[in-house]
């Protein structure tokens, strides 16, 4: 990851479908590589399922910047992430719509988690009971803010046009 880009991790992640939701995050890291399947798309789509999805990602940060994971699906109910850095330290974080907004790194609808400067492995457990697609991005703070700024401007323009059309039709 260079500090000017947002990386969609779908093609780089490996996933395991836990149909019984019986594996904990610490057990995921003990699964052999053969238990995981390689994703073929940038945005992983699992359709409508109640199974939890376990993800494994190998990361190398080529910058000195903090990295952030951004889960762009606002309907994910439960997200648990374990980051292991070069020193072997583990950082476990949770997100999703069942967590309060005060637990989020940014006050946004999607979950954004800070994963440090030198992560080498990331394990994730994700659950939802709605349409299960996983657009997950990895980026530095400047590139994440740039992407969010562009999205906010687009949403603001769209909302402004809709508001203008409603007011115009109100006075016809």
Strand partners for 69: 113, 138
Q: Residue 83's pLDDT is what? A: 93
Q: What is the pLDDT of residue 150?
A: 81
What value does the mean pLDDT take over residues 21-40? 90
At residue 105, the pLDDT reads 63
CB atoms near residue 69 (< 10 Å): 26
pLDDT value at 56 more than 90:
yes
Closest CA to 123 of 35, 170, 67, 57: 57
Task: For residues 70-96, give the mean pLDDT.
Answer: 88
Sign of CA dihedral 155, 113, 97, 103: negative
Looking at residue 104, what is its pLDDT?
A: 60
* 6-20 confidence digits (pLDDT tens): 888 888 999 999 988
pLDDT-based confidence at residue 73 (cuts at 50, 70, 90): confident
What is the tens place of the pLDDT at every residue in 57-67?
A: 999 888 888 89
Report the pLDDT value the prediction gives residue 61, as an integer from 0 to 100: 87
What pLDDT is attached to residue 74?
Answer: 81
CA distance 91 to 102: 18
In terms of Cα–Cα distance, which of 123, 138, 135, 98 is closest to 18?
123
What pLDDT is recorded for position 167?
Answer: 92
Give ∠ CA 68-41-104 in degrees, rounded to 5.
Answer: 25
Please write the tens of the pLDDT for every residue from 105-146. Answer: 666 677 888 888 888 999 999 998 877 888 888 888 888 788
Q: What percent of the chain is modeled with pLDDT above 90?
A: 29
- Provide mean pLDDT across the span 137-165: 87
What value does the CA radius of gyration of the chain take, rounded to a whole number of Å? 18
């Amino acid at each position: 990851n260079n500090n000017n880009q947002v990386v969609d991790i779908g093609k780089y992640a490996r996933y395991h479908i836990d149909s019984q939701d019986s594996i904990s995050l610490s057990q995921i890291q003990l699964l052999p590589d053969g238990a995981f399947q390689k994703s073929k798309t940038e945005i992983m789509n699992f359709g409508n399922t109640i199974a939890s999805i376990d993800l494994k990602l190998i990361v190398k940060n080529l910058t000195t910047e903090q990295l952030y994971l951004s889960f762009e699906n606002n309907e994910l109910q439960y997200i648990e992430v374990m980051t292991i850095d070069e020193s072997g330290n583990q950082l476990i974080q949770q997100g999703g719509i069942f967590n309060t907004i005060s637990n989020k790194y940014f006050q946004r609808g999607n979950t954004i988690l800070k994963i440090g400067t030198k992560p080498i492995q990331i394990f994730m457990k994700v659950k939802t009971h709605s349409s299960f697609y996983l657009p997950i991005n990895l980026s530095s703070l400047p590139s994440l803010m740039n992407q969010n700024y562009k999205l906010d401007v687009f949403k603001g323009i769209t909302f402004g046009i809709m508001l203008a059309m409603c007011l115009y039709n109100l006075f016809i």
